[in-house]
Amino acid sequence: MAAADQIRQGAESSPTTERRKLRGRNFPVLAFIFLVSVVLVGVAGPLILPLDAFSGTLMTALKRPVWMEGGSWSYPLGTDQLGRDILSRLIVGARITVIIAIAGVFVSAIVGTSIGLLAGYLGGLIDTILMRITDAMLAIPMLVLGLALAAATGAGVVNVIFVTTAVTWAFFARLVRGEVLHIRELDYIKAAEIAGFPQRRILLRHILPNVFTPLLVMASLQIGNTIILASSLSFLGLGVPEPLPEWGLMLANSRDYITFAPHLVVMPAIALGLMVLSCNVIGDWLRDRFDPELDHLR
């Protein structure tokens, strides 16, 4: 990728400072650390769980976090209305969120990229049909379409991944098609066609690797989108089902307590907010770094 990057920038290297100016901000260390720790915590999950995330007693219900009056180190972030440890629930929730985000974006990228490659390379009627479908998908607000699909498929982690894929593949399809239209006119594709390689080989070997950079940027920006969509569905009761502590679901279940136990709402909200923010910051950085011209991905 460094090679493609250098070529876009012009192979003659400019002074480092100039290049930094061109590429914008520095590497977002904080966002990166936060993301990595969420992923690690999500993966390690059960191994480091301080307490049971799924059961509690009413005796321990609605305890406050440790830094507030009446809090204790046994429940560092307090407990919810059923006495379950909030920290433990956030950790299990991190796992669900990470799985949905990565799987959702991955499947969506594969579906969208395949459609975009076919539409861009084959052109003609196939292109027209695929792109009109894509336009139609993009024209419907994400949440509305997601709600309709989620209502039809029912709750569940796999269903949420399906719904986020169905709602976001169009972004990838449109991006990839545009890139393919550009790349397929380049001489090295013509050279490969003259060399008599079959279309499949040209697509996979010469075109696909060259759309990888914008694809990566798009994927990192879509992670934040996917997390919000999944949490919104859960919040509305159409996403991840009880008793799984998905962050959006935690928000929904605790909103009745917002006046006298605000930490129930604040904790998952902070987790969710920081997660999405980190993904977007890293996505922005990737875009600036790899191609200052990719502004349309915003």
Partner 1 sequence: MTTESMSRPLIEVDRLYTEISAGGRTFDVLRGVSFHLNVGERLGIVGESGSGKSMTALSIMRLLPRAASIRSGRILFNGQDISSISAQDLAPIRGSAIGMVFQDPMTSLNPLLKIERQLTDGMEYHRGLTHADARRRALELLERVKVPRAAQVLASYPHQLSGGMRQRVAIAMALSCRPKLLIADEPTTALDVTVQAEVIALLQELTAQEETSVIFISHSLDLVAEYCDRVCVMYAGRIVESASTGQLVQTPRHPYTNDLIDAVPDIDAEQITRFRAIGGQPPQPGALPNGCPYHPRCARAEGICREREPLMEDSGRAVACWFSNHSSKEAGNNVG
What gap in Å lies between CA 227 and CA 268, rounded to an integer?
13
User: Of 69 and 187, which CB lies nearer to partner 1 in the complex structure?
Assistant: 187
Six token digits for residue 130: 């695929």
Please count the other Cβ atoms lying within 10 Å of the Cβ belonging to residue 167.
28
3-state secondary structure of 199: helix
Q: 82 or 181, CB closer to partner 1?
A: 181
Nearer of residues 185 and 295 to partner 1, judged by Cβ: 185
Closest approach of partner 1 to the CB of residue 297, in Å: 20
| Binding residues vs partner 1 (CB under 8 A) | 3-4, 6-7, 11, 123, 185-188, 190-198, 205-206, 209-210
Q: Which residues contact 144 (CB under 8 A, 6 or more apart)?
A: none
Q: Tell me how far apart the alpha carbons of residues 29 and 31 are, in angstroms, rounded to a whole number.
A: 6
Integer Cα distance of 32 and 83 in angstroms: 33
| Closest by Cα among 256, 228, 238 to 105 | 228
Distance of closest approach, residue 188 Cβ to partner 1, in angstroms: 5
Q: Is the peptide bond before 46 cis (omega within 30 degrees of 0)?
A: no
Tell me the two tokens of residue 113: 């990229």
Looking at the Cβ atoms of 6 and 55, the one nearer to partner 1 is 6
Sort 111 into a burial class: Cβ within 10 Å, 0-12 / 13-18 / 19+: middle
Shortest Cβ distance from residue 94 to partner 1 (Å)?
A: 35
Least separation in angstroms between CB 218 and partner 1? 18
Among left, alpha and beta (phi > 0; psi -120 to 50; other), residue 124 is left
CB of 217 vs partner 1, minimal distance in Å: 16
Task: Find the shortest distance in angstroms from Cβ 253 to partner 1.
Answer: 49
- Least separation in angstroms between CB 16 and partner 1: 18
Cβ nearer to partner 1, comparing 200 with 298: 200
Q: Which is nearer to partner 1, 15 or 196 (CB)?
A: 196
Nearer residue to partner 1 within complex by CB, 154 or 198? 198
